[in-house]
Amino acid sequence: MRTVAGIDLGTQSMKVVIYDYEKKEIIETASCPMELISDSDGTREQTTEWFDKGLEVCFGKLSADNKKTIEAIGVSGQQHGFVPLDANGKALYNIKLWCDTATVEECKIITDAAGGEKAVVDALGNLMLTGFTAPKILWLKRNKPEAFANLKYVMLPHDYLNWKLTGDYVMEYGDASGTALFDSKNRCWSKKICDIIDPKLLGLLPKLIEPSAPAGKVNAAAAKAYGIPEGIPVAAGGGDNMMGAVGTGTVADGFLTMSMGTSGTLYGYSDKPIADPANGLSGFCSSTGGWLPLLCTMNCTVATEFIRGLFKLDIKELNEEAAKAPCGSEGVLVIPFFNGERTPNLPNGRASITGLTSANTNRANIVRAGFESAVFAMRGGLDAFRKLGFKPKEIRLIGGGSKSALWRQIAADVMNLPIRVPLLDEAAALGGAVQGLWCLKNQNGKCDIAELCKEHIKIDESKSANPIAENVAAYDKAYEEYTKVVKTLSPLYQ
């Protein structure tokens, strides 16, 4: 048996999979929940101790015999989080996460100092948003000056796990492009933005490596702690969206992946830089050597979970209730900004239910509107892709939303594209494993990642959904109303 392992560090949990690359199947998985520090000011944080514990628990659950067969490891991690370490590798403060919106002031300071939004986009290919890493670093400097004074290592969550496994301090282009410190077009750190935050920052950032290169090799300490072979390569890894692209086969032009989890993301592979930050399309690099234009919303299954809790429904009951309502929920709309919002850029945004009348106010309409709101938020990203000349063929759907037949059909109808679901679950962890295999094969000659994904990423045809013309027409009208309401409400939160 020959295997590779994939690690996925998400907001809610850490998962490890062992993938038999000869039989093309996941043979074992393990997971560990992650806690969250949350405050009304937008704070969303975790700690390095929780990440450390996650590695110990997950690898501890896997069989010793299976772990001995691992030949390479690839790591996927939630994007943008700032892991600040001192010279001894000790955390100086909590990890501010992608969903932390407490850095509105820092975004403004950096943007103004750079010369405005256009100047920031020219430097980075992206706007300065609260989700990104750069404002979190400035927040540490302004709010925890003693911690900032001792800052030695600037890591993202997946880089921290790479460092725990190898002891090497590096970062690849994909995750780096989500820091708002990185020039995505030219694939280098932006001295201009770094110097605005602090003159010493550029000198603290890690060495940049190609996504096909190893981050390092499993060191003796990690081998002993986790029961894995010493000396095996650890791939460059990447952000969860970049690894999700690998795990769904979105490594060639024309394919889009839509992830419906806590947050919602829509991204596609491109051989050239593509970005439209004004319309929410971030100009990221992929973790396979190209670019990965991406739209991210901060509220996806969040909306349905809150509504499910409100009506005290289980998952099955939630889907059954939503199915009772027609497409468009008879005019009921959920504006799902429960965590503020990134697209549109409304960190102080609030959720609401609107469009209610004496005729349409019922549980089924409200529940279905929650389902629809998550996909409406993605539709704007699809429109932005098309305006830039991207010609989508189909959408690969992953995340919790992909498990619902109703949600898959809503997505097909709202987006007016075929929906396909990968056969193997855990796209980000599988993407990490496949990138680990790519890294392994590259040690013995050149390996093409697109061909590798064709071989290892299969579609579950039983979960496919195709657009229905009548539903598409109904959702075009509902989406138009949704965008009108969002535009009307937006000034309240700016």
Task: Quote the Cα angle for 323-324-327, to 5°.
Answer: 70
Q: What amino acid is encoded at 467 in this protein?
A: P
Query: Which residue has 């790519």 as its token pair?
Result: 438
Q: What value, to the nearest 5°, has the Cα angle with vertex 477 and ends 473 and 483?
A: 135
**Partners of residue 217 on adjacent β-strands:** 233
240 counts as catalytic: yes
3-state helix, strand, coil in the chain (%, to 5): 45, 20, 35
Q: What is the DSSP letter of 152?
A: -
- Give the contacts of 288 (CB within 8 A, at least 6 positions apart): 174, 211, 212, 242, 245, 246, 251, 269, 435, 449
**What's the CA gap between 448 and 405, in Å, rounded?**
34
DSSP 8: E
Q: Which residue is catalytic, options 100, 159, 240, 413?
A: 240
Handedness of CA 60, 62, 68, 73 (dihedral sign): negative
Which one-letter DSSP state was computed for residue 421?
-
Nearest to 9 by CA among 156, 157, 133: 157
Residue 490 has φ and ψ, to the nearest 5°, of -50, -45
Q: Token pair of 265, please?
A: 């993301």
Active site residues: 240
